[in-house]
Structure 1
Amino acid sequence: MIYKSYNDLSRDISANVHKLNYQNFDLIVGIPRSGMVPSYMVSLLLNVHCIDLPAFIRNEKLSKGITRNVQSNIIYAHDAKKILLIDDSIMFGRSIKNSLEKIPSSLLKNITTAVVYSSKQYHENVDIIFVQVEPPRVFEWNIYHHPVVSNSCFDIDGVLCFDPTRDQNDDGEKYIDFIKNAKPRYIPTVQIDYLVTNRLEKYRKETENWLIKYGVKYNKLIMLDLPSKAERMNQSDYFAHKSKFYKNCKSDLFVESDINQAIEIANYSNKFVFCVDENIMVRPGGLKRFKNKKYFLSKLRNKLSKIDFFKKLYYTFK
């Protein structure tokens, strides 16, 4: 499974904006909602006007900031002579097709279509493709609202809500109060298949009430069947509960907050795990857990920066 973050989106656009430089576009039109972020990135790099599709159709007056002028001096959207209609991605092409059908026919001759990510190297429904990303794929801007959620396992603490503090995690009244009043972090809008948590079974009622309170939709809640926090902490393989369940179920993705647990779950289950805290997709067998977490993260970031450097070098001389 391929994961693209906002950081990846920015890098991929910067590495491929040369495909647009010579075409002299005087207006960038973004397809809401996912197409708006790349449309603004592209418009800033090209220094041209940007507008969303509905506003373009209404022929609204263009605006800009006060810090710099844009290259073209057009005033209204329909004054543009070379228009780039852009979306974040394309699979079947329905979004691009639907967008073009809404645009006045007299303007279609001025429009070129583009996407940052395409499932195919060449796509019959789009003119310009930045990067081919074959499915299965998820993006930072849709991972909690993507159909893959319905075939995924999610942890609770650190994902759906923030982790308890040490003081709150007393396996008593403070912990119960935490569960009842935990602040939500990421709430998916798609039904989750399995919630797999190291919370103890004795806190099921409080946990279920919190899930109802914040409208979390799920199929089953899998909790740890141990009598106390002390026994849970005595486990040498604290990740085993999640790993074993994930390995034996049909889910394609596990969403976990802690990087070390994410690595262990991925390696044990031989499946993908998305690490919320580090915003990365952990591949099975790709990483090993480090006892020193800070050292591990510095090594990981150094590795990613090297990959980014060679990617830019590749596109420079391609």
Structure 2
Amino acid sequence: MNYRSIDDMNHCMAANLAKVPAGTDLIVGVPRSGLLAANLLALHLNLPFTDVEGFVEGRILQSGSRLKNYMKPFEAYKQVLVIEDSVWSGQSIEEVKEKLVGLYPDKQIVYTAVFIAPEAVDKVDFYFDVCPGPRIFEWNMMHHELLENCCVDIDGVLCKDPTEEQNDDGPLYEEFLTNVDSHLVPSKTIGCLVTNRLEKYRPQTEAWLARHNIKYKELVMLNLPSKAARLKANNHGGFKASVYIKNDYWLFIESSEWQARQIANLAGKSVYCVDSRKMIYPDAVGKTRGNIRKFLRKALNLF
């Protein structure tokens, strides 16, 4: 799994500012993620920026007082850079090109993307970096179709973790399960929810997920009778890794970094840690283990 963070995006552009054509005087972001890239790049270059619709209508986003001395009438901008965060199929950037073609004959428009798939390099005039698939980005992870190929934890990801007092395996815990506020609410369907919540709390968990309109294909819970049995088993990361191993999911999204490392090493696959906001990769042993499983799975599918 190829992961890129907002920090990766920023560093990638900052390290490659020389790629921006000389004389560029206006940055245009392709909504929605392209606006993030446009804003960062405009800050690095001390240039004004706008979105595609604003550009079509001849509007530029307002700037602070520091940039006001550099602002010009819209008609005076001649070297325009249109930027996307990433290009894969090229459909969105092609739609923008169609919208802008012939609109301003007096302006030179150049198209770029921060991250581009190897097969799409001809869709833009230049790019900042190549990022092959499968790939996932920090800024749209919970709102991408790829989520259907992911395992996702509940506590610490979709909602906060219970406190020690709330986690009593009794009335306080049931109240927590019923009324805890949502944290990250995905707009796409999750492939598999994997949680160390006990199976006996499935009704409360399913009701909470339905109330917050969180869609998922499968919910896997720990089939032990009590919190005491769960603590005795002491296999929090191992349980999650077993589900990740058994299914051909691309990524596990976990809150705890120590569990994320355990899951990654046991499963031999990447885990994204919400708490530290970084991708955790398996160590050498875990990677070898994962490669062997991939090989065996492919071999079995041949028969």
Give the Cα separation in 2 of the matches to 1:79 and 1:214.
49
Any conservation in 1 of the 2:29–2:51 contact (CA below 8 Å)?
A: yes
**Residue of structure 1 equivalent to 2:178:** 180
C-alpha displacement at 1:79, in angstroms? 3.2
Give 1:98's aligned amino acid: E
Q: Deviations over 1:126-148 (max 9, x none)?
A: 01110111111110111111122
Cα RMSD (Å): 1.8
Structure 1 unaligned spans of 5+: 289-318
C-alpha displacement at 1:206, in angstroms? 0.5
Q: Helix, strand or coil: the match of 1:123? A: helix
Any conservation in 2 of the 1:57–1:103 contact (CA below 8 Å)?
A: yes
Give 2:184's aligned amino acid: Y
Give 2:52's aligned amino acid: L
Structure 2 unaligned spans of 5+: 287-303
Task: Kindly report which structure 2 residues correspond to 1:1-318, keeping only aligned pairs within 5 A, or say none.
Answer: 1-20=1-20, 23-60=22-59, 63-69=62-68, 71=70, 73-76=71-74, 78-107=75-104, 110-120=108-118, 123-285=121-283
Any conservation in 1 of the 2:49–2:60 contact (CA below 8 Å)?
A: no
Give 1:87's aligned amino acid: E
**Residue of structure 2 equivalent to 1:297:** none
Give the Cα separation in 2 of the matches to 1:83 and 1:248.
50
More deviation in 59-68 or 197-206? Answer: 59-68
Give 1:101's aligned amino acid: E
Give the Cα separation in 1 of the matches to 2:201 and 2:234.
22
Tell me the percent identity. Answer: 39
Q: Deviations over 1:11-59 (max 9, x none)?
A: 1111111212x51111111100010011011111111110110011011
- TM-score where L is the length of structure 2: 0.89
C-alpha displacement at 1:204, in angstroms? 0.6
Give 2:34's aligned amino acid: G
Any conservation in 1 of the 2:197–2:222 contact (CA below 8 Å)?
A: yes
More deviation in 104-113 or 140-149? Answer: 104-113
Runs of 4+ with >6 A deviation: none
Any conservation in 1 of the 2:87–2:120 contact (CA below 8 Å)?
A: no
C-alpha displacement at 1:229, in angstroms? 0.4
Give the Cα separation in 1 of the matches to 2:245 and 2:282.
12
Paired residues, number: 285
**Residue of structure 2 equivalent to 1:291:** none
Give 2:3's aligned amino acid: Y
C-alpha displacement at 1:84, in angstroms? 0.3
- TM-score where L is the length of structure 1: 0.85
C-alpha displacement at 1:122, in angstroms? 7.2
Give the Cα separation in 1 of the matches to 2:254 and 2:63.
41
